[in-house]
Chains A and B, each alone.
Chain A
Amino acid sequence: MKKIIELKNISKSFDGEKVLDNISLDIYDNEFLTLLGPSGCGKTTTLRIIGGFEQPDEGDVLFMGERINDVPAHKRNVNTVFQRYALFPHLDVYENVAFSLRERKVAKDEVDRQVTEMLSLVMLSNFAHRKVTSLSGGQQQRVAIARALIARPKVLLLDEPLGALDLKLRKDMQQELKKIQKATGITFIFVTHDQEEALTMSDTVVVMSDGRIQQIGTPTDVYNEPQNAFVADFIGESNIVDGIMLEDFKVKFSGHTFECVDKGFERGEAVDVVVRPEDVDIVREEDGMLRGVVTSVTFMGVHYEIIVDIGGFKWMIQTTDFVDVDEHIGLSIEPDAIQIMKKSEYSGMFGDYSTYSDEAEELSEIELGELEEFESAGVDDED
């Protein structure tokens, strides 16, 4: 595969605050790559540096092998679908889509041909002469995509493009975007804070936090083999406990020695152990590798989400079997359900469900959402 964009040791600060800290990333042709992370992690800044709207303080941006740090946005073969679309309110749908062709003085019937084609790609053929302000969020979104794609960029940048859509529409647009990406063969760089979105759409997921890249990998890689506690916690639910690597394929945590599939650690090395809630089997108490008391049970539709107190540490377990609160149960974990990670700065910060409640989770999500609305309304927001 051909490298299309390379970021080399990029750093960027705003007002003395480091937003990007020595980021290096290769992006390949035809790839659907997602920059995933919480707000303030630097993902949008990374995108804006690729788009040419910000200059890195240090490091180089390469486009097909050529350094483009000083190439202004309008001369880059890269187009952007902006957060909240940024459609031109004084132009109708047709003229919005035709915008870049007009700038290049493309002949009138060629403009007509391309705009018609693009509008049918995004299923807006009947809306050509509508005002953009009269369109729904989903339709505006499609206009924004058509407007960016018609310039035939090598790379399309998408800055949280689905953030303002409701859940149903968002799922549809995810499928559609993926389809468009396959059909056009254009590299998509997609920014989101929604881990589910990232996992379903991407070829490559780049997990970011605190201005640094935490992990680069396929969706299955980052889910099944998170490299540190941050990634394990940010993507999906995780129980993260302290463990000690006794020898290759043998780890001890929560007072029990488990077989595992990891090796290459020092003997006796302290590690973080990740066990996904859906990978834990409930067995009779006397058959369990670990034993604990159920402290809460929540019905989630497909499964129950239960919290189990094991020696003071609370685990989350997803199961289709019903158990009752205060029941004593045993837990069994298969070797390949155990993921061992090196200790990192994020150790001990995540993966304990002792303060967990659905309400608290929802609350914090709402706050996060509001925060982002607030940020994206601002002018010089970095992320």
Chain B
Amino acid sequence: MKTKGKPVWGLLGPYTLWAAVFIVVPLIFVAYYAFTDNSFSFTFDNLLRFFNDRSQVGDTEVRTYMLIFWRSLKLAVISTVICFVLGYPLAYIMSRASDRNQKIMMTLIMIPMWMNFLIRTYAWMTILQDTGLLNGFLTRIGLEKIHIIGTEGAVVIGMVYDYLPYMVLPIYSVMAKLDVRLIEAARDLGCNNFGVLRRVIFPLSMPGVLSGINMVLIPSVSTFYISQKLGNGKFFLIGDAIEGQYVANNLHFAAAMAFILMIILIAMMALIKKFTNDMAYGGEEV
């Protein structure tokens, strides 16, 4: 192993350096800023501020950043669930389609990703505005206008639109590799289409579902641009809060929030992984 180790390290070297400079060092800086004050002496104040800052909303006093965090989490979870509900059947249909149709569907899913997501978000603004395309269409077919821009719904639509491919692709790639014989075996043993899906395809596609959830949930929780544009700034999310503090040159507090967010996300990921593993292996009906 020792003799074999050298060339491997040789190949890993550049990547290790890259990872150190662009991933590890910034993370250390985040942690360092999070635990220091403006004169760079050690403190917990930044972290405590995240939990303790209060403000007045209407008649009630709330913990400002906790409220923002829970709102971010709520919208992210809703978006992830919608992405899953839309994306799973889509991935399934894609994986069962003919080679040609699989390629076509794949391209259709990828095309929006070729556009910058800021532009995509602007596009949604023009669609969802009170005088936008959607309402224009509704008026034309004789329906009432709806007010959607600046609501949580608009933010969720934006997130689902942006992140859906990240749910579909990992699930699709797992399903496409699924051995058809397993499906035939399940059918042979008495499963109808739904039974095959429930007892074979779903548990075996869990790894794809897991990475799909990871790839949608994490960016949704920390998103900041979509909420500003589609929420008309009324839905301050944790990403917006971090950005705001950062822009206001309040680096230590921004770092503290980023740090806390990171810890919470890591914990959530671990929980989801444990949960999906239990479902995929050995958890069936016992």
Residues of A within 8 A of B (CB): 51-53, 72-74, 78-80, 82-84, 86-92, 95, 99-100, 102-104, 147-148, 151, 379
Contact = CB atoms under 8 A, between A and B. Distances in A.
Given A84-B181, A103-B195, A379-B180, A91 B188 contact: no
A48 B1 CA distance: 49
B184 interface: yes
Contacts of A87: 185
Contacts of A73: 184, 187-188
A103 B199 CA distance: 9
A104 B185 contact: no
B284 A86 contact: no
Interface of B: 179-182, 184-192, 195, 199-200, 203-204, 280-282, 284-286
A74 B182 contact: no
A147 B189 contact: yes
A74 B188 contact: yes
Contacts of B203: 90
Given A100-B189, A103-B190, A82 B204 contact: no
A223 to B, nearest CB: 33
A82 B189 contact: no
B281 A80 contact: no
Given A91-B284, A92-B282, A379-B180, A86 B185 contact: yes
A88 B198 CA distance: 13
Given A73-B188, A74-B188, A95 B284 contact: yes
B180 A72 contact: no
B192 A88 contact: no
A104 B179 contact: no
A313 B191 CA distance: 58
Nearest to B195: A103
A100 B189 CA distance: 5
Contacts of B280: 90
B180 A89 contact: no
A188 to B, nearest CB: 15
B171 to A, nearest CB: 16
The binding surface of chain B is classed by DSSP as helix
Given A80-B188, A100-B189, 18 more contacts: A53-B184, A53-B187, A72-B192, A74-B189, A82-B188, A86-B181, A86-B182, A86-B185, A90-B203, A90-B280, A90-B281, A91-B284, A102-B199, A102-B285, A103-B190, A103-B199, A148-B189, A379-B180
B284 A74 contact: no
Contacts, number: 70
B256 to A, nearest CB: 42
B190 A104 contact: yes
Contact of B204 (A52, A90, A147): A90
A72 B71 CA distance: 49
B187 A72 contact: yes
Contacts of B182: 86, 88
A88 B186 CA distance: 9
Contacts of B184: 53, 73, 80, 82, 86
Nearest to A83: B181
A148 B186 CA distance: 10
Given A73-B184, A90-B203, A379-B180, A79 B281 contact: no
B180 A103 contact: no
Given A82-B184, A86-B181, A99 B204 contact: no
B194 to A, nearest CB: 11
Nearest to B203: A90
B145 to A, nearest CB: 49
B190 A82 contact: no
Contacts of A80: 184-185, 188
A148 to B, nearest CB: 8
Contact of A88 (B185, B187, B190): B185
Contacts of A78: 188
B187 A79 contact: no
B179 A86 contact: yes
B46 to A, nearest CB: 45
A79 B281 CA distance: 25
Q: Which of B182, B190, B195, B199 has the most CB of A within 10 A?
A: B190
A379 B203 CA distance: 21
Contact of B189 (A79, A83, A84, A379): A79
B284 A82 contact: no
6 contacts: A73-B188, A80-B185, A86-B184, A88-B204, A99-B189, A100-B190
A80 B285 CA distance: 24
Contact of A103 (B191, B204, B281, B282): B191
A74 B185 contact: no
A147 B181 CA distance: 14
Nearest to B285: A102
A214 to B, nearest CB: 28
Contacts of B192: 72, 74
A87 B190 CA distance: 15
Contacts of B285: 102
Contacts of B282: 90-92
